[in-house]
Each structure stands twice: as structure tokens, then as C-alpha cells.
Amino acid sequence: MAQNISVPDIGDFDSVEIIEVLVKVGDQIKKDDPIVTLESDKSSVEVPSPVTGKIIELSVKVGDKVSKGSLLAKVENDSYNADNEKEVNKNNFEIQNKTAEQKNLKQIDEVKVVKKVFAQSSTEDDVDPLETKEWIESLNAVIENDGPVRASYLLNKVVSEAYTAGLVLPDTRTTPYINTIPTELEVKSPGDQNIEKKIRAYIRWNAAAMVVRANKISSELGGHIGTFASAATLYDVGMNHFWRAKNKDFGGDLIYFQGHSAPGMYARAFLEGRLSEKQLNRFRQEVDTGGLSSYPHPWLMPKFWQFPTVSMGLGPIMAIYQARFLKYLINRGLLKDEGRKIWVFLGDGETDEPESLGAISLAAREKLDNLIFVVNCNLQRLDGPVRGNGKIIQELEGSFRGAGWNVIKVIWGSYWDPLLKADKTGLLMKRMNEVVDGEYQAMKAKGGAYVREKFFGKYPELKELVSSMTDNDIWKLNRGGHDPHKVYSAYHAAMQHQGSPTVVIAKTVKGYGMGKSGESINTTHQQKKLDEQDLLYYRDRFSVPLTDEQVKNIEYYKPAEDSEEIKYLKERRKQLGGFIPERSSLATPIKAPPKDIFDSFMKSTGDKEMSTTMALVRMLTSLLRDKNVAPRLVPIIPDEARTFGMEGFFRKIGIYAHEGQKYEPEDSEQLSSYKETKSGQVLEEGITEAGAMSSWIAAATAYTNHDIEMIPVYVFYSMFGFQRIGDFAWAAGDAQARGFLIGATAGRTTLAGEGLQHQDGHSHILASMIPNCVSYDPTFSYEMAVIFREGLRRMHEKNENVFYYITAMNENYPHPEKPEGADEGILKGMYLFKEYKNKGKIKIQLMGSGTILREAIAAAKILSEEYGVDSDIWSVTSFNELRKDGMETERRNLLNPSSKRDKTYIEKCLEKRDGPVIAVTDYVRAFSDQIRPYTEKPFYSLGTDGFGRSDTRKNLRKFFEVDKEHIVAYTLSALAKEQLLGSDSAEKAFKKYNIDKKKAFPTKL
Ligand SMILES: Cc1ncc(C[n+]2csc(CCOP(=O)(O)OP(=O)(O)O)c2C)c(N)n1
Ligand SMILES: [Mg+2]
């Protein structure tokens, strides 16, 4: 049966142009295959076929204008049903997922979590303790007889009744200051605790020895002992029992180590035989190869570290988006679901960083049960207590619970268990609740007698409770994070938890075991030197089998290869699939798309105007037709798709939503309807540049973390890019990210109406500081196409560890055809766009980038026609790339004074060309000034230094003095200064263009 295909609802647009016809008569098409591409003045969008069939008639051609309802084509419906095919694929996929899930469940046996209700002590506000006791006894009876589910039901019912009756309800953000998992429900570690204890002691020792040794060489080298000392058990239990490495059968768990606990990871790798003594001796001496980097830096140790985490706060948020991206890859069918987990270690002080907790609600919303945070609460940060007057553990519990996480508190070690059991009054828990962190810290610094007095001494009953214990016994009452049993049990519960992310909040002691040299004292963090006595104490404290002499020489301790410790440690890692951390990539490159995909961008657009943003979006639409590239593209947008004309992607490739779409969108009839789907490709991040950048980093490093090469394209307001998330971009460089950052609405005067906080005139300078960031400020669509294609080739086909920053503009203008042979120059940073050779007497070298190149082109015409000044017009696509070439060439020349001088690329371009350089951009002058030394010509730059403001483009360009009139007048003045022209021409021009010489420099306005 023949069926008409016509233009669906395209929103507010009428009479839009057809820029591509993607089918011809006779083609067999499937439902959703694109028929034509439409382009309004802001965006382009493909019209998909609503049916499967054969095109029997085409009613439109390129250039036609159409509106809603216009006939596009006629299709003969046939029996082929593409939807069936999709369904089958989907089913396969679901089966695959199910088996993975089952496998997971098998791996982890079930434990039911029951919470015992503790009797509370009688307090002044309890007017009838007997009644209270009865209530609690009833509850315990229900738990015992009918189980926890029934007990929870009853409680919820009571609470809901109370709510309707208008009662003040209890604050349920926090639970009592005790371990979340009751002793009777703890899962015991299958490990050999004696051997594990020894291994842990050696790792502790070697980590400290490495730092102390480095500081014997020079105190400049620094390092940290106290942090790892507090976290050793938290890491060791994970390494021995939980963290599965990447190997040919499994993708591997991903572990974000706390940055300054790096010494502990090196110390373990030493025992594993992965690092040599020589390497340990080169801790923080990285200039000559073979040293160990201060912190986790993949750039410096590319086969070891996976995640840069030392800029605090970035690790946690990057990990959250990593966990989400892993689910994205699984839901899109690009990865198998193997039950991989992402573990993130952070300090309690680190949680002060807005980035650390800023995305925890996203983690719960996305049901990231593949994510486990471990917060090491040693109660101290660098200067002193994290929450001296409060309780960081309770505060964090409240935040995480509020956000919807599964919270597991590991506060008290096993030595406390009998005391808690023996305390029938509930006073012990009350005391635990009331002591603040500042006191807890002091207690660990001051010894058993002090604890007896200050902690237990407050209530006679508690003093009595510990009366038979010595001060030493009291001192040994340990904290949960140092108890391998409690930690094991918490990790086990975290591993099997489903439906939400888990945070393990562990209480520890900073500088654990360091004694007076640094245990729980305010200066612990910076302790990097231990004297002989301190070292002897440390050895004794952990029973490290070294002689006094060996301790004095700060020798490392490594048992023989056939010792039970080394055999055990290696066997554990073998069971868990290999070593961690380790960085590798098995990803296969993506073949760059053929040139013809970009062909249409090389041609002139005639009178048709568009912005480079539109050109880019069209390019991405074309790329979605390339079978190699299409599935790997990850468009990332923080709530600005409509700003950039990208809303067409919503329906075309779907917005990723792990729960699909539970509602019919308001605009469901429209072509660019808001379509959320489980297999969606677009990451619509909402208003979070930090989150969007974290997603980008996850995708840009998927080649190593998931062994799949992805092509993330993150499009953002350029002002809210590097300036806002500069530290993430730096971390991306460290992590060797590969992908595109697109700074849209770029330029201080190009984005006109938005004002001071929106107008970017410096992002390129910020981008230029990142060594492996390649950046461009193209003007024309063919430049954008050449740059983008090369980016795909370099990063994703050739696997170069660079990433691209490209600015795109929102100004519409016609685009010329690509000049013959321009490709090389476009990529190197400049090429000759046009030459004026009218009079040939006075010549200038006119350079411009971005939309301001167009002002330069217009100025050149005026200069030539009205003032007889000829110009060579250079489109400078990248001042940043030119400077890199300039610096490198100059250095090479300086190093080789007796050899023939190499020429910089700029010199090669300019060597046979006369006249001063006038460089003009929509950025601060420092941007174009970068190449000043290499032009070897008088150099004048015009730019947009100063705060932006709202106005029309024309007025803004006048204000910042980068419009064609200013370019003409300043050029004439520069020529007068160079004595190539009299000053009268310039004076006349200033007058003619009403240029106010008294106006202050824009930075002062
Ligand atoms: C963004 C950032 N700011 C400051 C620092 C410097 N710094 C390193 S560790 C540290 C204290 C860390 O305290 P906490 O998070 O509690 O970790 P702990 O060492 O106690 O485990 C500080 C301020 C940093 N690394 N990153
Ligand atoms: Mg801390």
C-alpha cells in the first residue's frame, strides 16, 4: 500500500529549507531512516520515515522550502518489519544482561540485614521509662517472631499515623553512633588474619620508609605517612578480597585511590614484585625516568595509575560519572554487564569540597549500585579536626542517606563489641553519641588513662563497665576502620547491595601507629620525617622483623619470594584476576570517516548564512550516518541543546535515561521531541558543567577503562568551560583523555546580549596551558570540518593522547569555499585566505580568527579601496598551535647554534611578505600576542581585553575596538608609526569613524 510521508510538526518554524535529500526513488528504507534534512536559521534536523518500505515518488529537492504537512515522498509499504529486528536485538541484550546479573548474585551469597533495637537509657524527657521499655520489647518481639520486614512495616505505619495526627516526627537522617551492621550479622572474612596482618605491617613500614628516605635526600621532596597509616586496612581488605583486576575474561573493577595515600600503593606493588627497591628510592624524583610520581598521575606513570585524584573533590565526582557511564555503555549494548564495581576512596576533609558531594544525588537517582564510596574518617584534615565541634560521620551519614545512598558506618572495632553488649543501660551508646570529634581525636593522642577519665568517666556506670580493664586494654579499644573483620563485613555488604550506591563511612586514626611522632595530632598530616626513635617505635608497633641496625638504615622489608606472606599476597591477587592499579588498553581504533562525509562543508554556502555551531551540528548529524563513528559518538550537553540547535538529536538518537521514558512528553508529536530512552545516546546532563565534564572524561578515557574507544563531544557555553572546570580539564590531560570539547557561543563580542558573565574572551588562553590540548578558533565551516576530521583521525584512529578544544560561534554569515590547498595551514594554525594586490605599495599582514576574521576581511577591502593599502589576509585558526611550533623551533635552534636555523611555521608563511602584522581576535590580546616573537615583524594586536557587557554585536565590537572601522584606523596609525604612511590618513580615519580618543582603555570601563 502506498503511503505519503510529509513534514511532521517542526515546532515554531515555518518554510524551512531542505538542505539534503537522503533517499532516491527505488530505495528500500526502514522506519526511522532519514528522508531529508531540514535547516532553519538555528538548527538542522533530519526527518525520519514513519514506515518501512520502498520510495516510489520523491516530491522535494534540495533548496525547497517546506512547512508542517508538506509532502516529501511516497512509500510503498512492504512486509519487512525493521521493528521486529530491533526487538530481537533488544531481547538478546536483555538475556545477556540477565545472565550477568544472575552470575553476580551467585558470586555473592545473600545476607539479610536486621537491625537490633537497643534499649535507651532513661533520660529527663522520658516520663515513663517502663512504658518505653514495653514499646521496645514489643518491637523486638515482632523482629524475632515476624521478621524485620513486618517490623519495618509496623514502624512505618506508626510514623505515618503520627504524621497525619500532626506530631513532631523524629529526625531520621542519622542512626545512633554505632556500626550499621550488628555484630551478629557480620560476615566473617575467609582470609588468614595472621598473614594478612603481617603483610599489612610490611606495607605500612615500606610506605613510611619510602617517604622518610626521600626526605633524607631532600626535604623538598615531601610525602605523606599519616594518611595511608590511617587507611591501610581499608585498602588491604579490598586488595586481598574484593577488587577484581582487568584481564581477558573480565573488565576489572575501577579503584579511585585517595591521592596522597599513593605511598601505600607503591609499598604494596613492591611486595608484589611490580616495583623495585630502586624505584621506591626514586619516590617523588620523576625528572629522570623511572621515578615514582608524588600522587596518582597517569601521565607520569601510564602503565600504573588510572585516575588522577589528588586535586581533592575531583576524584569522587569523576567516579560517580564513571559509574554512570559504565551503565550507559551497558544499556547501549556496547559493553557486557559483568557486575564491575567502581570504588572511590576519599578523606573526610575532602568531603568539604563541593565537588565531592555535589553529585551524590545523581548517583542515587541513577541507581548506581556499581558505585562504592569509602570515606576514611580519621577526623582530621591538614590543619586540624574536620568537625571538632561535631561529628563528621553523622553529618556524612545524613547527607548520603538524604540523597538516597545505602550507608554503612564502620565506627567501632571488635574490642568494643563485648562492652556494647554488656551495657544494659544504653549509656555507652549515649556517651558515644555525645562526644564530639575534637574530643575523640584528643583521646587517641593522649592514651588509655585519659580515655578512662574523659570518656568513660563521665558516668559512674560506664566507669564501672571498664573497671576491670587496664589503661592499655582501654587504649586498645580500636576504631572500626582498623579492624579487618568489620571492614570485610562492610565491603561484603556493599558488594551485594542493589538498587543504590553505597558509602562505607569508616572511623580511623590519622597517623595510626605513629605514636608521639604523629598519631592523632594536629600536625600528623605533614609528618614526613621520622627520627630513629620514631622509626624503632613504628617497627615495634607493627612487629616488622627488622634489626635496630636495619631500622636505622631505613631498610625496606620484603620477605622471600617463597615466604608464606608473599605467596599469600600473590595468590590473593591471582584469584582476583591480576594486579591493581594497572593501566592498559585493548581498544581497537575507529576508522576516521571518509572525506566525502565532510565534502558538503568544503563548498561555499552562497548567500545562505549559518553559524559555525550550526555547521558543527550538521557535521555531527552527517557523522551519525558513518557506521564506524556513529555508535561511538557521545554528545554531551548540559541543558543547552536548544541554545546550540542540537535538539534534533533528542529524537534521532535519544537521550540516555536508565529508566526509559515513563511519561509521554509534552512535545511527543514534534520532530525534535524530548525522547528519553534506555539506549539513548545523548547525555543530557542538566545544569552541571562539573558533571558534564566528568562524563566527558569518563567517555574520553573509555579506551583504557573499558577497552572501547568512544568519541565524546561536549558542547558548552565557552565561558562556562575552562574558566569553570579548568581543574577537570587539567586532570583530563593527565588522564590522557581523547575527545572534543566545543566551546560554543564563544567570543567576547560574538555572543552579544548576554553580558559580562557570559562573554568569553580568554578560554583559548586557558586551553593553551594544557600541554596535550589542541585548540582552534575557526571562522568558516570548511575550517571546522578539516579540524574536526583531523581530530577524529589523530585521536580515535591513530590513538594520539591529545584532546581538542574548538570554539564555535552563534553568528550567522555566509561561508566561502575552501581555498585550494588550505588544509595543511588550517591544521598548523594559519593559511593565506586572500591577497589584495591592487596598488602594491604599502602592504600589511592582516591576521584574524573566529568571527573577527570577518571584520578583518571587511577592513582589508576598505584599506585597499580607500587608502591604497594592500593586505595579505591570514586566517589564523590557532594562535595556540602556532606558538607551540614557535617555542619548539626556537628551542631547537638555540640548542644547535652551529647548525642551519630551522624556520618556524609562521616564518615560513611570512618570509616573503612585507609589512607589519595587525592581529585581531575576539579574545584578549595575550591570545594573538603569543606569536609576536616569531613573526619578526612589527606586531600590533587588537583584542577584547576587559569585562564584557550586553549590547548589540556592532556596539560591542566598537566598544572593544575590533570592528572593521577600528581595524582600518589602527592599521593606518601603525603604518604611520612604521613610517610607511603619513599620520594624516589615520587622523582622518579616527575622525571619519567618530573614534573617541579620550575613551578609557576598555579594561578600565
Ligand atoms: C583541591 C585541593 N586542595 C588542597 C589540597 C591539599 N591537601 C592535600 S591533603 C589535604 C588534607 C586532606 O584531609 P582529608 O581529606 O581528611 O584526608 P586525610 O589525609 O585525613 O585522609 C589537603 C588540604 C589538595 N590536594 N587538593
Ligand atoms: Mg581526614
Query: 285: CA distance to ligand 1 center in Å?
Result: 21
Note the pLDDT of residue 107.
Answer: 42
**In this structure, which residue's CA is closest to atom 10 in ligand 1?**
382
**Cα 381 to middle of ligand 1, angstroms:** 6
Q: Would the pTM of this model clear 0.95, i.e. be above it?
A: no
pLDDT of residue 520: 86
pLDDT value of position 105 = 39
Give 20's strand partners. Answer: 37
Residue 773 C-alpha cell reads as 590540548
Give 763 Cα–ligand 1 centroid separation in angstroms: 28
Cα 804 to ligand 2 centre (Å): 37
CA 209 to ligand 2 centroid distance, Å? 21
43 with 649: CB under 8 angstroms?
no
Q: Is residue 88 pLDDT above 80, yes or no?
A: no
Shortest-distance ligand to the CA of residue 229: 1
User: Residue 4 is placed in which grid cell?
Assistant: 505519503
Residue 97 confidence (pLDDT) above 90 = no
Q: What ligand 1 atom has the least distance to the C-alpha of 347?
A: 15
| Cα(443) to centroid(ligand 2), Å | 16
* Cα atoms in the 13 Å half-sphere on the side-chain side of 255: 26
Could you give the C-alpha distances from 118 to 175, 456, 478, in angstroms and in order?
12, 19, 21
pLDDT, tens only, 863-903: 999 999 999 999 999 999 999 999 999 999 999 999 999 99
User: In this predicted structure, what is the pLDDT of residue 89?
Assistant: 41
The tens digit of pLDDT for each residue in 186-231 reads 999 999 999 999 999 999 999 999 999 998 888 899 889 899 999 9
Beta strands in 836-953 (DSSP E): 842-848, 869-876, 917-920, 939-942
Ligand 1 centroid to residue 604 C-alpha, Å: 55
For residue 106, how far is the Cα from the chain centroid? 33
Residue 488's nearest CA partner among 118, 268, 185, 258 is 185
Q: What is the pLDDT of residue 120?
A: 52
Contact predicate 8/670, CB 8 Å? yes
Contact criterion met (CB below 8 Å) for 48 and 652: yes
Distance from the alpha carbon of residue 70 to the mean position of ligand 2, in angstroms:
66
- Specify the pLDDT at position 90: 41
Give, for ligand 1, the residue of 310, 350, 377, 522 to mutate: max count of ligand atoms closer than 8 Å to Cβ. Answer: 350
Q: Which atom of ligand 1 is nearest to the CA of 314?
A: 1
**Ligand 1: centre distance to CA 694 (Å):** 20
- pLDDT number for residue 109: 42
Q: State the Cα–Cα distance between residues 908 and 317, nearest whole angstrom.
A: 46
Burial 838-865 (b: 16+ CB within 10 A, else e): eeeebbbbbbbbbbbbbbbbebbebbbe
Ligand closest to CA 518: 1
Across residues 532-548, what is the average pLDDT?
95
Mean predicted confidence (pLDDT) in 625-646 = 94
Q: How confident is the model at residue 127 (pLDDT cuts 50, 70, 90)?
A: confident
- Protein residues whose CB sits closer than 6 Å to any atom of ligand 1: 227, 230, 260, 310-313, 347-350, 376, 378, 380-382, 386, 510, 525
- Of 22, 88, 17, 26, the closest CA to residue 55 belongs to 26
Residues above pLDDT 90, as percent of the chain: 82
Overall average pLDDT of the 912-918 stretch: 96
Q: Which of 311, 312, 383, 392 to mutate to test the pocket of ligand 1 (most atoms within 8 A of CB)?
A: 312
- SS3 labels along 794-849: HHHHCCCCCEEEEECCCCCEECCCCCCCCHHHHHHCEEEEEECCCCCCEEEEEEEC
Of residues 120 and 72, more confidence is placed in: 72
Pairing of strands 371-377, 406-410: unpaired
Nearest ligand atom owner, CA of 311: 1
Task: Tell me the pLDDT tens digit for each residue of 677-736.
Answer: 999 999 999 999 999 999 999 999 999 999 999 999 999 999 999 999 999 999 999 999
Q: Whose CA is nearest to atom 19 of ligand 1?
A: 227
What mean pLDDT do residues 308-324 have?
98
* Nearest-angstrom CA–CA distance, 564 and 359: 44
How many Å lie between the centroid of ligand 1 and the Cα of residue 374? 15
Q: What pLDDT is attached to residue 959?
A: 98
Q: Are strands 830-835 and 869-876 parallel, antiparallel or unpaired?
A: antiparallel
Which residues, at least 6 apart from 12, have a Cβ–Cβ distance to it below 8 Å?
none
662 C-beta neighbours (distance < 10 Å), count = 7
Instruction: Please report how the helices 983-992 and 964-977 are oriented relative to each other, as an axis angle in degrees rounded to 10.
Output: 160
pLDDT for res 840: 67
Q: Is the pLDDT score of 632 beyond 70? A: yes
- What is the reported pLDDT for 872? 97
Q: If you take atom 20 of ligand 1, which residue's CA is the nearest one?
A: 381
Q: Is the pLDDT of residue 80 over 60?
A: no
Q: What is the DSSP track for 343-392?
A: EEEEETGGGGSHHHHHTHHHHHHTT-TTEEEEEEE-SB-SSSBSSTTS-H
pLDDT, tens digit, 9 for 90 and up, residues 637-650: 989 899 898 999 99
Q: Choose the residue to mutate in 381, 383, 728 for probing ligand 1, maximizing ligand atoms within 8 Å of C-beta.
A: 381
CA–CA dist 443, 391 (Å, integer)? 15
Q: pLDDT digit string (tens) for 147-195?
A: 989 999 999 899 888 888 888 887 788 999 999 999 999 999 999 999 9
pLDDT value for 117:
58
DSSP 3-state assignment of 1005?
coil
- Ligand 1: which of 225, 373, 382 to mutate, most ligand atoms within 8 Å of CB? 382
Rounded CA-CA distance 265/282 in Å is: 15
| Structure confidence at residue 890 (pLDDT) | 98
The mean pLDDT of the chain is 93
Residue with cell 544482561: 97
Atom of ligand 1 nearest to the CA of 310: 25
- Ligand 1 atom closest to the Cα of residue 311 is 26
> Is 748 within 8 Å of 761 (Cβ atoms)?
yes
Residues whose CB is less than 8 angstroms from the CB of residue 419 and which lie 6 or more positions away in sequence, other chains included: 428, 465, 466, 477
Return the sign of the alpha-carbon dihedral for residues 421, 425, 426, 430: negative
Index of the ligand 1 atom closest to the CA of residue 382: 11
Please state, in angstroms and as integers, the Cα–Cα distance from residue 136 to each residue in 90, 147, 421, 799, 978, following that order.
51, 15, 17, 64, 94
pLDDT, residue 993, reads: 98
pLDDT in tens, 551-565: 999 999 999 999 999
Which residues on adjacent β-strands are paired with residue 406?
Answer: 502
Amino acid making up residue 320:
I
Tell me the three state secondary structure of residue 17.
strand
- Which residue has the least CA distance to atom 13 on ligand 1? 381
pLDDT of residue 99 exceeding 70, the answer is no
Among all chains, which residue has been given the C-alpha cell 553523622?
394
Contact 3, 77 (CB under 8 A): yes
Closest by Cα among 629, 671, 679 to 653: 679
3-class DSSP state of 682: strand
Distance between CA 743 and CA 758 in Å, rounded? 12
The mean pLDDT of 273-287, rounded to a whole number, is 96
Residue 285 pLDDT greater than 50, yes or no: yes
Kindly give the distance from the C-alpha atom of residue 491 to the centroid of ligand 1, in angstroms, as a whole number. 24
Higher pLDDT, 523 or 354: 354
**Distance, CA of 906 to CA of 881 (rounded, Å):** 11
Atom of ligand 1 nearest to the CA of 260: 9
- Ligand of minimum distance to the alpha carbon of 379: 2
Considering every ligand atom, which ligand is closest to the CA of 234? 1
